Amino acid sequence: MSKKNKNRLELLGSYSVIIIMSIIIIYPLLWALGISLNPGRGLYGASFIPETFTLDHYRWLFFDPRSNYLLWYKNTLIIALTVAFVATFMVALTAYAFSRYRFKGRKNGLYAFLLLQMFPVLMGMVALYILLNTVNLLDTLIGLILIYIGGAIPMNAFLVKGYFDTIPRELDESAKIDGAGHFRIFFQIMLPLAKPILAVVALFNFMAPFMDFLLPRIVLRSPENFTLALGLFNFVNDEFSNNFTRFAAGAILVAVPIALVYLFLQRYLISGLTSGATKG
């Protein structure tokens, strides 16, 4: 086989994989969008392309007094934005310390970060529940935020530390010669250079509260404190509810803030996802 034909086959195979994966990803989204535009409340009779389009389910979510959708949206945005900013800052500080300083317990700390990533979150659910109940943070957004922030540090700090290791130490030394202190080096040199990897960390931490169901299910009890995942689940879980079309409409709208944040951080994401995996 000639080199030209081999390259064509490789290109055809690559495009085939991309097309198949695109269909797998897009098909459920189109189904959810189609169901959300169907009249009625159940899946029976709902079609991929509805014969009669309606926006009643979207209007119900936003304007019906019985709907708590906007409240759940607000709760989720508060959690997501707080976790994205605070966790990213804490991760950057932790990674900077492990990358630039040599201190007792540094290697053991890195091993601990790796070890903590090996255990599933389910193992700590009972302990987290008891801890939040002890400090009176059960069924509060603050308690949920603290858990998300704490859980984001180990894996992300190890990732960002690898990125910091690729930044030449000569920049730190030149800044110290000019009289810059540790915090000035961190804020004016390291953070601007680490924007790509920090954008990735911020996006992942912003997405987590929108996608997570299990942790809010354990921590939150009051409907006014529900996140979107927990609130939408009740649309199809309540004994006398069959609101699959409303569920689909609410699920489609979940993607809006994530897409906006992704577009805002897009220029940093590609370089950030391909960095930070160097050996520290």
For residues 78-82, give the mean pLDDT: 96
Pair (46, 170) in one structural domain: no
pLDDT beyond 70 at 275: no
Instruction: Please state, for a pLDDT cut of 70, what percent of the chain lies above it.
Output: 91
Task: Lowest mean pLDDT of 19-23, 134-138, 166-170, 271-275, name the range.
Answer: 271-275
Q: Both 26 and 159 in a single domain?
A: no
pLDDT at 76: 96
Are 182 and 203 in a shared domain? yes
72 pLDDT exceeds 90?
Answer: yes
Query: Residue 83: what residue type?
Result: V
Q: Are residue 208 and residue 236 in the same domain, yes or no?
A: yes
pLDDT at 272: 53
278 found inside a domain: no
- Based on the domain organization, do 36 and 141 belong to the same domain? no
Per the confidence metrics, is the pTM higher than 0.95?
A: no
Closest listed residue to residue 272, CA positions, set 193, 172, 171: 193
Residue 271: predicted pLDDT:
60
Q: pLDDT digit string (tens) for 92-149?
A: 999 999 888 888 888 888 888 778 777 777 788 888 899 999 999 999 999 999 999 9
What is the pLDDT averaged over residues 67-71? Answer: 91
Q: Indicate whether 225 pLDDT > 60.
A: yes
Confidence of residue 274 (pLDDT cuts 50, 70, 90): low
Our count of domains for the chain comes to: 2
- The pLDDT value recorded for residue 279 is 41
- As a whole number of angstroms, the distance between CA 223 and CA 72 comes to 8
Q: What is the pLDDT of residue 246?
A: 85
Average pLDDT over residues 248-272: 83
> For helices 244-273 and 56-63, what crossing angle results, to 10°?
80
- For residue 37, the model assigns a pLDDT of 85
- On whether both 42 and 73 belong to a single domain, the answer is no
How would residue 47 be classed by pLDDT, with cut points 50, 70 and 90?
A: low
pLDDT interval class at 278 (50, 70, 90):
very low
Which run of H or of E encompasses 118?
none
Q: Are residues 174 and 262 in the same domain?
A: yes
Two tokens at 86? 């605070």
Rg (CA), the chain: 23
Does the pLDDT at position 91 exceed 90? yes
Same domain, 190 and 94: yes
- When pLDDT is averaged across residues 30-42 and rounded to a whole number, the result is 81
Shared domain for 45 and 126, answered yes or no, is no
Residue 154 has which token pair? 């180990």
Residue 207 has pLDDT above 90, yes or no: yes
Tell me what the mean pLDDT of segment 167-193 comes to. 86
Residue 48, pLDDT > 80, answer: no
- Distance (Å, rounded) from C-alpha 260 to C-alpha 255? 9
Integer Cα distance of 96 and 153 in angstroms: 13
Question: In the prediction, which pLDDT does 73 show?
Answer: 95
pLDDT the model gives residue 201: 92
**Over the chain, what is the mean pLDDT?**
85
pLDDT of residue 46: 64
Of the candidates 71, 85, 215, 238, the one whose C-alpha atom is nearest the C-alpha of residue 138 is: 215
Task: Provide the residue range defining the domain that includes 263.
Answer: 60-273
119 in any annotated domain: yes
- Give domain status of residue 81, yes or no: yes
